[in-house]
């Protein structure tokens, strides 16, 4: 068994040359997503597997007006489903993107050396931020009525038929203009800092020295302060305002925990794929062990936040708060109940048991399975945050999974492209040797 003093090989530049097979796989993922989306749309138009009493009623009445109304309703349900699932998957992938930068920033501020080997993966995750951000803004502008109850006409005007006193009380915060300004600000801050840290890192590759490192630490520290605020606020805006009557003071942390553990799982999964394709020569079981510890720990952290939010609401049992869990546990004829328990099993039970031992964290196959489970589980967690508030009883899975696969394929193409732009090993990082010699 080699000790840390036995490495004499210096870290060297490694360039990723994405194989044609990988590109084909990404296109296949997108293709599968499109096929599922089309199947889902057709199924939804034909009412496969639905016992929609509204349809029967419309057929019984057979009045033209009634029929047309039912028809336009169906269109809007389908449209709503597509908008909501675009929003859902996009938020999930934007979260993973920004967590790449956050992870790297934390490592900088902590003067951590071990993680330098995965730094380029963190940088590459940020590739989704700008396309995803633009899409998010477009989605809000065109689809806000399908996503947010508070955007409805007259809901904040006294005397209107739609007037809602509680929503009107939030009028100072939830207005179209202010919301858009906030949204653009969060995304711009994230994208600018992601770009800046990446730029410093590439300059370091070219010129060496420690000045870029110190500059990166300052940049990272400022980013973390800003992210602490913007991550919470984006969670309120993008997700919590869907259930506009309801609020939870834990929500910012809850969304952050979900994003954070997904981001670490994505980093690990990409590292495993690169390792298995013969790249990242210096990455070894010790690095995977540490990433595994983080996934294990933050899966528990997510559960802690989840439970803290759940238990207080369950115990206090205030109607305006408990409605959130009523909808998810047995509401809408119990259609969300299984997801509620599924999330707990896949996001807590499975990683907790699978990653508990030291050996499991050092084996790529187990890590791979757990990473995939965590990513699926947290996508499903966001599903449960968004769907009951937007789709009520009209949720489904085929369209949603199809759209998620399209996002996944596009995300992977962009991330791979960014990975291939620079050396996979940041050779001039002052701590690269420490990372190469890392032992747990």
Q: Rounded to the nearest whole angstrom, what is the least distance from the CB of residue 356 to another protein in the complex?
A: 9
CA dist., res. 142 & res. 133, Å (int) = 14
Site string for another protein, 310-339 (x = CB under 8 A): xx--xxxx----------------------
Question: What is residue 341's three-state secondary structure?
Answer: helix
By beta-carbon proximity to another protein, the closer residue of 71 and 358 is: 358
Phi, psi of 15 (to 5 degrees): -110, 130
Rounded least distance, CB 1 to another protein, Å = 4
CB nearer to another protein: give 211 or 357.
357
Among 173, 247, 307, 352, binds another protein (CB under 8 A): 307
Q: Smaller CB distance to another protein: residue 1 or 46?
A: 1
Q: Report the length, in residues, of the chain.
A: 440
Q: For another protein, which is the closer residue by CB, 229 or 439?
A: 439
Q: Interface residues for another protein in 380-439 (CB under 8 A)?
A: 439
| Minimum CB distance to another protein, residue 5 (Å) | 5
Q: Using CB under 8 A, which of 4, 12, 372, 420 touches another protein?
A: 4
Q: For residue 141, give the nearest of 97, 205, 184 by alpha carbon.
A: 184
Task: Show contacts with another protein in window 358-377 (CB under 8 A).
Answer: 358
Q: Is 431 helix (H, G, I), strand (E, B) or coil?
A: coil
Q: How many CB atoms lie within 10 A of CB 73?
A: 12
Question: CB-wise, 10 or 169, nearer to another protein?
Answer: 10
- In 3D space, the residue among 96, 10, 75, 11 whose CA is nearest the CA of residue 424 turns out to be 11
Rounded Cα distance, 224 and 229, in Å: 9
Q: Using the rule CB under 8 A, give the single segment among 216-224, 232-240, 306-314, 328-336 that binds another protein.
A: 306-314
Contact call for residues 307 and 340 (beta carbons, < 8 A): no
Count the site residues for another protein by CB under 8 A: 15
Least gap, CB of 114 to another protein (angstroms):
12
> CB-based contacts of 113: which residues, under 8 Å, 6+ apart?
431, 434, 435, 438
Question: Which pair of tokens denotes residue 224?
Answer: 């973390």
Determine the interface stretch with another protein among 47-55, 147-155, 258-266, 309-317 (rule: CB under 8 A): 309-317
Minimum distance from residue 253 beta carbon to another protein (Å): 17
Q: How far is the CB of 373 from another protein (least distance, A)?
A: 22
Cα gap 164→152, rounded to integer Å: 10
Work out the number of other CB atoms within 10 angstroms of the CB of residue 237.
Answer: 20
CB of residue 9 vs another protein: minimum separation in angstroms? 17
Count of CB atoms situated within 10 Å of the CB of 247: 15
Report whether 265 contacts 350 (CB < 8 A): no
d(CA 326, CA 321): 9
Q: Give min distance, CB of 307 to another protein, in A.
A: 7
Nearer to another protein, 28 or 357 (CB): 357
Distance CA 90, CA 284 (A): 32
**Helices and strands: H and E segment counts in the chain:** 18, 0
Helix axes 285-316, 251-276, angle to 10 degrees: 160
Choose one: 2-10, 39-47, 251-259, 270-278; the region binding another protein (CB under 8 A).
2-10
Q: Decide: is 340 part of the binding site for another protein (CB under 8 A).
A: no
| Window 122-181: residues binding another protein (CB under 8 A) | none
Minimal distance, residue 368 CB to another protein, in Å: 23
Does 51 contact another protein by CB under 8 A? Answer: no
- Please, which residue, 348 or 383, has the CB nearer to another protein? 348
Q: How far is the CB of 348 from another protein (least distance, A)?
A: 12
Is the Cβ of residue 177 or residue 315 nearer to another protein in the bound state? 315
Nearer to another protein, 223 or 310 (CB): 310
CB 148 within 8 A of CB 244: yes
Asked whether the beta carbons of 387 and 8 are under 8 A apart, the reply is no
Verify binding: residue 352, another protein, rule CB under 8 A: no
CB of 3 or CB of 51, closer to another protein: 3
Residue among 313 and 412 whose Cβ is closer to another protein:
313
Spatial contact of 34 and 406, defined as CB atoms under 8 Å apart: yes
* Three-class SS state of 393: coil
Show the DSSP H helices in 279-361 as ranges.
285-316, 319-328, 331-334, 337-344, 350-354, 358-361
Residues that bind another protein (CB under 8 A): 1-5, 307, 310-311, 314-317, 357-358, 439
């Amino acid at each position: 068994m080699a000790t840390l003093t036995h490495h004499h090989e210096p870290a060297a530049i490694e360039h990723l040359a994405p194989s044609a097979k990988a590109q084909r796989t990404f296109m296949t993922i997108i293709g599968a997503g499109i096929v599922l989306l089309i199947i889902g749309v057709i199924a939804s138009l034909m009412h496969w597997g639905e016992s929609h009493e509204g349809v029967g009623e419309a057929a019984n009445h057979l009045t033209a007006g009634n029929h047309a109304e039912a028809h336009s309703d169906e269109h809007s349900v389908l449209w709503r489903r597509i908008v909501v699932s675009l929003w859902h998957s996009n938020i999930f992938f934007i979260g993973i993107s920004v967590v790449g930068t956050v992870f790297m920033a934390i490592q900088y501020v902590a003067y951590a050396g071990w993680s330098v080997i995965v730094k380029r993966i963190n940088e590459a995750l940020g590739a989704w931020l700008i396309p995803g951000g633009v899409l998010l803004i477009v989605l809000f502008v065109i689809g806000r009525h399908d996503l947010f109850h508070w955007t409805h006409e007259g809901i904040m005007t006294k005397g209107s038929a739609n007037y809602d006193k509680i929503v009107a009380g939030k009028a100072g915060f939830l207005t179209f203009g202010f919301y858009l300004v906030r949204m653009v600000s969060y995304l711009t801050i994230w994208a600018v800092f992601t770009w800046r840290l990446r730029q410093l890192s590439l300059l370091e590759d070219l010129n060496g020295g420690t000045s870029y490192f110190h500059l990166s630490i300052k940049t990272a520290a400022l980013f973390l302060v800003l992210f602490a605020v913007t991550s919470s606020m984006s969670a309120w805006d993008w997700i919590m305002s869907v259930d506009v009557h309801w609020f939870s003071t834990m929500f910012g942390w809850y969304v952050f925990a979900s994003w954070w553990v997904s981001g670490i799982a994505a980093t690990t999964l990409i590292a495993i794929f690169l390792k298995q394709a013969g790249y990242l020569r210096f990455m070894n079981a010790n690095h995977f062990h540490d990433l595994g510890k983080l996934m294990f720990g933050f899966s528990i952290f997510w559960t802690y936040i989840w439970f803290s939010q759940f238990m207080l609401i369950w115990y206090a049992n205030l109607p305006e708060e408990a409605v959130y869990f009523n909808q998810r546990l047995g509401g809408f004829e119990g259609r969300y109940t299984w997801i509620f328990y599924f999330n707990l099993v896949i996001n807590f039970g499975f990683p907790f048991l699978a990653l508990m031992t030291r050996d499991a964290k050092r084996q790529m196959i187990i890590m791979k399975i757990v990473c995939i489970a965590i990513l699926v589980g947290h996508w499903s967690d966001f599903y449960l945050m968004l769907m009951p508030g937007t789709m009520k009883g009209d949720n489904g899975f085929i369209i949603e999974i199809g759209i998620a696969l399209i996002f996944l394929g596009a995300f992977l193409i962009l991330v791979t492209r960014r990975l291939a732009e620079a050396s996979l090993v940041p050779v001039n990082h002052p701590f690269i040797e420490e990372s190469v010699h890392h032992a747990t």
